[in-house]
Amino acid sequence: MKVTIVDYNSGNISSVINSFNEVAGDKVNIKITSDLNKIKSSDKIVLPGQGSFKSCIEALKNITGLVETLNEFAINDKKPLLGICVGLQMFADIGYEETETKGLGWISGKVSKINNLNGKFKLPHIGWNQINIVKQSKIFKGIENNSHMYFVHSYEFVPNDINVISATTNYSSNIVCSVEKENIFGTQFHPEKSDKIGLKIIDNFINL
């Protein structure tokens, strides 16, 4: 089985690569690439994301044909895809970080700044927070509710359809931290930085 981590120059993703390699068995081939043919022939894709919504969308668009290839993989072929942090946020129709930017439009909704209640809550939201699992997502198999995950973000994904939400976390308000829509999965937290529980989520995705 081929699992591809999409490399589109969105910051340091070495911890993502290391975590997937740690979990992957002998039968799983983990590759990091921006080669469109290798992405197309993958069984599963991981879309990481560091930095702003705008910078990540622009970085995707800077690689000719990448957005179209991802659309074909996730929307047409309906193969499993996992978005991490801004990788999840880019599923949205639109984001408001830096400037209004059009997203991939895979899961209808918007990405807006966390309401920190006039400075009562620090932004970015950094550190370990409990997650509340609100529906049985395939990637939460064997994960206990109220497990702690590691977060680094100032913006949140607000989907139009609450049925895609698989987990929330409480930070100033109920923030969506995981979504699942058919073959598309996303986590606002960083499973690759969330110790053994995070590795279990990665393992669940690989074994879908």
The catalytic site residues sit at 85, 190, 192
What stretches of 1-65 show up as alpha helix (H) in DSSP?
14-23, 36-40, 53-62
> Which one, of 170, 8, 172, 197, lies nearest residue 87 by Cα?
8
What is the three-class DSSP state of 91? coil
What is the rounded distance in angstroms from the CA atom of residue 137 to the CA atom of residue 208? 11
Token digits of residue 25:
């068995």
- Tokens at residue 145, please? 């509710």
**Across-strand partners of 3?**
30, 44
- Residue 207: left (phi > 0), alpha (psi -120 to 50), or beta? alpha
